[in-house]
Amino acid sequence: MTRALTLHDWMVAGVAVVAGIAAGLLLRALLRWLGVRASRTRWSGDDVIVDALRTLVPCAAITAGLAAAAGALPLTPRTGRNVTMTLTALLILAATLTAARVVTGLVRSVAQSRSGVAGSATIFVNITRVVVLAMGFLVVLQTLGISIAPLLTALGVGGLAVALALQDTLANLFAGVHILAAKTVQPGDYIQLSSGEEGYVVDINWRNTVVRSLSNNLVIIPNAQLASTNMTNFSRPEQELSITVQVGVSYDSDLEQVERVTAEVVDEVMKEITGAVPDHEAAIRFHTFGDSRISFTVILGVGEFSDQYRIKHEFIKRLHQRYRAEGIRVPAPARTVTVQQGELPPPLGIPHQRDASMPPRVH
């Protein structure tokens, strides 16, 4: 300390600290007002930026006030340097956390806009957050006078051991990156694995893929397993798909009438039921002479996978009602049983005995 502290020094330092705190509060109120305005825009990125700056800007104002207070005090060069270094490190740390929030928020916003669903692929968000925080941590160490070269060397040498110990984790990480980069699966897609698991993809993180089944249960699938198994994606290349319904009519039916009535019901369902494809052209294909009926396939168009159950439900109800009104019969399976006279089957539990007067039967 070059000279003794005076009351004037304390007053100047106190004013600087109070001014920094007041500026931080005013800036926070201003950013809150900007956040309200940003929420009214269509782009979600400005919401992320304003929300992140709401923490950084007040912290920077208070840090500036503390730095001004330290400059007003008669500190020794070493003490002043340590105070400046500490305040700089705190400011860099706050800026790093803010940058991590901004970048990850923007990545999440982009992922959500690409997938078109509420969920997002958090694997890119997590990787981005780790990279930004690691860079900020190294800058803080360098600011504090700690050499980061030995640390980087140790990380490089120890990376091999870590990679060997985390083979499964790294395999899942790179498998998840490959899945998203290849765009074979995206959050919101409906998938079905060859092992039987199926549902909507909720999220793809650094280790596994979360799938929500139609029963509203979550199925956790490791990324490496998802990348190596046979899979059907019902949402790509487009969500609209065709489904088939098997129908049969009796042999005495007029097939031209059957085709006309069925097509009218298909057009009615496509235009009136939510989830159907209004411009879908009715397709009826007769294909089999069965035991008691002529079978045919009706092809329906649905907007996405889960809509098919509602579409089938409404189509079968309306088709059955229309067939009854038009007199078109849907036969039940029938069998003709012939019993030979002269030989009846024995009651249960009694062995069969032939009449001696009857000639033996030759098989």
**Burial track 334-347 (b if 16+ CB lie within 10 A, e otherwise):** eeeeeeeeeeeeee
Using CA atoms, how far apart are residues 319 and 328, in angstroms rounded to an integer?
10
CA distance 282 to 284: 7
d(CA 316, CA 247): 9
pLDDT in tens, 306-359: 899 999 999 999 999 999 999 999 887 766 677 666 555 555 555 555 554 445
The pLDDT assigned to 363 comes to 44
Question: Helix or strand or coil: residue 187?
Answer: coil
Of residues 100 and 295, more confidently modeled: 295
Residue 284 Cα to chain centre, angstroms: 36
Angle at which helices 45-72 and 7-38 pack, to 10 degrees?
180
The edge-to-edge listing of strands for the beta sheet with 294-302 is 241-249, 294-302, 283-289
Question: pTM for the full model?
Answer: 0.57
Supply 322's token pair.
């229309």
Q: Determine how β-strand 283-289 pairs with β-strand 294-302.
A: antiparallel
DSSP codes, 77-101: HHHHHHHHHHHHHHHHHHHHHHHHH
pLDDT one-digit tens code per residue, 122-141: 666 777 778 888 887 877 77
Phi-psi region for residue 176, left (φ > 0), alpha (ψ -120 to 50) or beta?
alpha
For residue 330, give every residue at least 6 positions away whose Cβ sits within 8 Å of its Cβ, in sequence order, or none.
Answer: 247, 248, 249, 250, 293, 320, 323
How many angstroms separate the CA atoms of 125 and 48, rounded? Answer: 14
Band of residue 118 on the pLDDT scale cut at 50, 70, 90 = very low
